Structure 1
Amino acid sequence: MPPYYCHDQATLLIGDAVEQLRTLPERSVDAVVSSPPYYFQRDYGVEGQYGLEATPQEYLDTLRLVFREVRRVLADDGTLWLNLGDAYSQRKAVRLSSHQEGLHGARGARPSWRESRAAGRARMSRENLIDGQAVTEKSLMMLPERLAIGMCEDGWILRNKIVWAMTATTPDPTRDRIPGKWEPVLLFSKSARYHFDTSTPGTDSDVWRFPASSGAGSHTASYPLELPLRCIRAGCKPGGTVLDPFSGSGTTGEAALQLGREYIGIDLNPAYHELAKDRFARRALTP
Structure 2
Amino acid sequence: MTTETYDATYLTGEDSGQRWRLLLGDSCERLTELDTDSVDLSVCSPPFAQLYNYSPSPRDLSNSRSRGEFFEHYRYIIREQLRVTRPGRVAAIHVADITMQKVMHGTIGLTDFSGEVVQAFVDEGWIFDGRVTIDKDPQAQAIRTKSHSLLFVTKDRDSTMLRPALPDYLLKFRKPGDNPIPVKSDVSNEEWIAWARPVWLGIRETNTLNVRAASDDADERHICPLQLDFIARCIRLWSAPGELVLSPFAGIGSEGHVAIETGRRFLGIELKPSYWRTATANLRAAEDAALAPDLLSELAAA
**Normalising to structure 1: TM-score of the pair?**
0.78
**Post-superposition shift, 1:167?**
4.7
Residue 216 of structure 1 corresponds to 209
Q: 1:158 to 1:213 in 2, by over 3 A?
A: farther
1:55 and 2:25 are equivalent in the alignment: no
Identity of aligned residues (%): 23
Deviations 1:131-170 (A, max 9, x none): xxxxxx3231101101202221221111110111135843
Residue 50 of structure 2 corresponds to 40
Secondary structure of the residue that 2:29 maps to in structure 1? helix
* Segment drifting more, 223-232 vs 191-200: 191-200
CA RMSD of aligned residues (A): 2.3
Code of the residue aligned with 2:45 in structure 1: it is S
Number of equivalenced pairs: 246
Distance 2:248 2:105 in 1: 29
Deviations 1:63-100 (A, max 9, x none): 222111100000113110000122123256xxxxxxxx
The structure that has the greater radius of gyration is 2
1:9 and 2:19 are equivalent in the alignment: yes
Q: Any gaps of 5 or more consecutive residues in structure 2? A: 5-12, 150-160, 215-222, 293-302
Code of the residue aligned with 2:92 in structure 1: it is W
Code of the residue aligned with 1:9 in structure 2: it is R
Give the counterpart of 1:178 among 151, 163, 174: 163
Distance 2:265 2:128 in 1: 25
Code of the residue aligned with 2:68 in structure 1: it is Q
Give the counterpart of 2:198 among 179, 198, 206: 206
Q: Is the CA contact (8 Å cut-off) linking 1:197 and 1:233 kept in structure 2? A: no
Code of the residue aligned with 2:270 in structure 1: it is D
Alignment of 1:108-257 (within 5 A): 124-125=104-105, 137-167=107-137, 169-170=140-141, 171=143, 172-173=145-146, 174-175=148-149, 176-191=161-176, 193-194=178-179, 195=182, 200=187, 201=191, 202-209=194-201, 210-213=203-206, 215-218=208-211, 220-257=223-260
**Post-superposition shift, 1:198?**
6.1
Q: Which runs of 4+ in 1 moved over 6 A?
A: none
**Post-superposition shift, 1:192?**
5.5
Deviations 1:110-138 (A, max 9, x none): xxxxxxxxxxxxxx327xxxxxxxxxx32
Code of the residue aligned with 1:11 in structure 2: it is R
Q: Any gaps of 5 or more consecutive residues in structure 1? A: 93-123, 127-136
**Post-superposition shift, 1:285?**
4.2
Code of the residue aligned with 1:239 in structure 2: it is G
Residue 31 of structure 1 corresponds to 41
Q: 1:24 to 1:284 in 2, by over 3 A?
A: closer
Code of the residue aligned with 2:127 in structure 1: it is I
Code of the residue aligned with 1:152 in structure 2: it is V
**Post-superposition shift, 1:257?**
0.3
Secondary structure of the residue that 1:42 maps to in structure 2? coil
**Normalising to structure 2: TM-score of the pair?**
0.74
Q: 1:17 to 1:82 in 2, by over 3 A?
A: same
Distance 1:197 1:178 in 2: 41
**Post-superposition shift, 1:237?**
2.8
